[in-house]
Each structure stands twice: as C-alpha cells, then as structure tokens.
Amino acid sequence: MANLVGKKAPDFNAHAVLDGHIITESFTLEQFHGKKYVVLFFYPKDFTFVCPTELHAFQEKLAEFKKRNVEVLACSTDTEQSHWGWLQLAKKQGGIAGVTYPLLADTNKTISAAYGVLNGEFGVDDDERLTASSEMIAYRALFLIDREGIVRHQLINDLPLGRSVDETLRIVDALQYFELHGEVCPANWSAGKEGMKATFEGVASYLSNN
C-alpha cells in the first residue's frame, strides 16, 4: 500500500457519472486545485452489499461536506455504464438512486493503482500468460485532499469493513481547524472542542484541563 499522506494526490482524467445520470468522458482532480477540498473514496464493486450502504451514507451527509467546501468523489473499477445502471436502481432494490456526487469509472485500474489501493497484483506465469492474484478491485480506501492538492489523511479498509462518514467529517473539521487556528487536534477532538498548542507547555495545559 502506498503512503500518500503529505504528498501530491495523483491526478486523473476519467469517465464518470455526474448528478446520477450524466456521463462525462473527462473528469479530473485538477479542476478542484486551489478551490476545494476533496474526499475521494474507493469502493470494491457496483451491485454489491456493503457498498450501497456507504454511498447512501455519504449522500445523506453531502450537505455537510458542501458546507465545508468539500467535494465528495466515489471511485470503483466498474465502467461508467455500470455506474449509470446502478444509479437508476431504487434503494429498496439495492440500488443507489438519489446519489448525486460523481462516480468515477476506473475501468483500466490506473487510478486505484496510482493511489495504492488495488487489491492484488498482475504477474506472468511460466508460460508467459498474464495472471492476477485476485479480482483486482479497489479496497475501501479514502483520501482527504486539501485545496493545494496534498493528501492530508488516508484510510484503507479490507473489503468487508464499512467506513464511518461521521469520522470523515470529523477529520475534515480537524484539518480546517488546524488551518484556521494553527493548533493541533488531540485524541477524540471534535468540532466545538478546544485545540492544543504544539508545545510541551501546550500539552501540559491541555492534559491538566481534560
């Protein structure tokens, strides 16, 4: 797995589905540079089980991300046509109708590979045939990218383990608090709580008061 924290987020130019029904052949990360924060999350497959719960959960909190100037992007190794079909399927049928943020189609797996979240590796056997060690789909990974295009947080879960959208919002709040106040965020910090000066005196003061 690649550690991208503190590094420039890999750009991409991908096919995507926008607003639940519009297919575009050119969607880039670079378009948000200098303008917005980005939460880019990867999921394994369309038409599966844990995945729709996560996509709906992000949609339910989409207004909260927008309030924080955050663009939410989802990505899997499915095609844009598969994304489109899943978006037309009702929630009660296991679909993701109602999801409006962009769904990126990483069909050639280059985005997942660039972010270090592809589950498996390609190889060549003794007969010089191309092999794959698994299905070559994306893990449940998430990256918080700041307005300068730098990765500030990453999370990679194994396939069965769903993520917490509330925790993602908390991390966004922590980054923006640090940027605004210059103070670091201690354990279990959440919006509305005090931060901490990154000094020995600051630590001592914080611990004595909490």
Active-site residue among 51, 117, 138, 174? 51
How far apart CA 132 and CA 58 sit, in angstroms, is 31
CATH domain 13-163 topology: Glutaredoxin (3.40.30)
How far apart CA 43 and CA 162 sit, in angstroms, is 9
208 or 89: whose pLDDT is higher?
Answer: 89
pLDDT score, position 132: 80
Give the mean model confidence (pLDDT) for residues 93-118: 97
pLDDT digits (tens, 9 = 90+) for 142-177: 999 999 999 999 999 999 999 999 999 999 999 999
**153 is written with which tokens?**
């947080």
- Evaluate whether 154 touches 5 at the Cβ level (below 8 Å): yes
pLDDT digits (tens, 9 = 90+) for 6-45: 999 999 999 999 999 999 999 999 999 999 999 999 999 9
**202 is written with which tokens?**
């600051």
pLDDT score, position 133: 82
Q: Give residues with Cβ within 8 angstroms of 108, minimum separation 6.
A: none
- Evaluate whether 108 touches 76 at the Cβ level (below 8 Å): no
How far apart CA 79 and CA 17 sit, in angstroms, is 10
Q: What's the maximum distance between 2 C-alpha atoms anywhere in the chain?
A: 67
How far apart CA 210 and CA 198 sit, in angstroms, is 16
3-state secondary structure of 13: strand
pLDDT score, position 1: 63
How far apart CA 47 and CA 58 sit, in angstroms, is 17
75 is catalytic: no
pLDDT digits (tens, 9 = 90+) for 66-93: 999 999 999 999 999 999 999 999 999 9
Cα radius of gyration (the chain): 19
